[in-house]
A = this chain, B = another copy of it.
Amino acid sequence: MSLVEDLERYRLLLDEALCQATAHYATGVESLKDAMAYAVEGGKRLRGATVLAVAEDLGCGVQEALGPALAVEMVHAYSLVHDDLPCMDDDEFRRGKPSCHKRYGEAVALLAGDALLTEAFEVMATYGALPLDRRTLCVRTLAHAAGPGGMVAGQVIDLALEGRKLGPDAVTLMYSLKTGALFGAAAKLGALAANAREDVQKAAESWGKSFGLAFQIVDDIDDLKQGGKELVKDTLVKESSLDHAIALARSTLDESLAALGPFGGKGRFLRELSLNYLDKIK
């Protein structure tokens, strides 16, 4: 199957499972349930697909890896909801529709984000058939990547950069924490679900950290081409140059490919995804 077909298959699976999980866990209060469902709706599911693809590549069924995959998508969705709030980026649109607080009000959006973050851990601890001890390793991985040593730290650096020129290194660190950490966790969660050897888990995480950083830089470059957010936001292109950004994206994607050594002949999806992104900046 091609990369595009794989991505579409994973996306459909995740869309349906996210819809069911949100309805199952968020009982009782309608506005909260609606806001949570609205917030998870419509993503590309690249992070969740990474979990499923790594697990499948390593011989684990997608059903087994679905809990961690849903959790990663919930964490990603919560981060977007909070990121869009007026006290943060104050974005009115997200995923082609009004952002969560525009639709449900600031308070409910804040709480829907909190609920998605909490539910991510509940889902990982309860959904599907993974053994209990391995679930704890999944919780460690996701919490570490999403918390104050990972994604949230990246958000704080993002705030600190606003209106100040701190240079390309600070932007790169911010991208690594904000985006790289969660992709690293996603790939490692797939390896954990498949009960892979420790060196394979580390290789998966390492691929994800590099790919996530490159993903964010390519996003910048795309925005520049479309004349979008780089005008107002701190991006690597703005802090250095287009050439520098392209060179860094390329070397980071090369690193992601090099990290896959311990996968041996496996890891097709990760390899193809890196090559696909290299292609985008050719």
Listed in ascending order, the chain A residues whose CB lies under 8 Å from chain B are 25-29, 31-33, 36, 78, 82, 85-88, 105-108, 110-111, 113-115, 117-119, 121-122, 124-126, 131-133, 135-137, 139-140, 143-144, 146-149, 152-153, 155-157, 159-160
**Assembly CA distance A241 to B105 (angstroms):** 32
Q: Name A140's contact: one of B27, B115, B126, B131 (CB within 8 Å).
A: B126
Residues of B within 8 A of A125 (CB): 136-137, 139-140, 143
**Assembly CA distance A146 to B116 (angstroms):** 11
Q: What would 11 more interface pairs be, CB under 8 Å, given A85-B110, A119-B147, A122-B143?
A: A29-B148, A29-B153, A32-B152, A33-B148, A88-B107, A108-B156, A113-B114, A115-B152, A133-B133, A133-B136, A135-B136
Q: Name A118's contact: one of B33, B87, B107, B152 (CB within 8 Å).
A: B152
**Assembly CA distance A131 to B131 (angstroms):** 13
Q: A88-B110, A121-B139 are in contact. Are A115 and B147 (CB under 8 A)?
A: yes
| Number of identical protomers | 2
B122 and A110: CB pair below 8 A?
A: no
Q: From A146, which residue of chain B is reached at the shortest CB distance?
A: B118
Q: A133-B133, A136-B133 are in contact. Are A149 and B111 (CB under 8 A)?
A: no
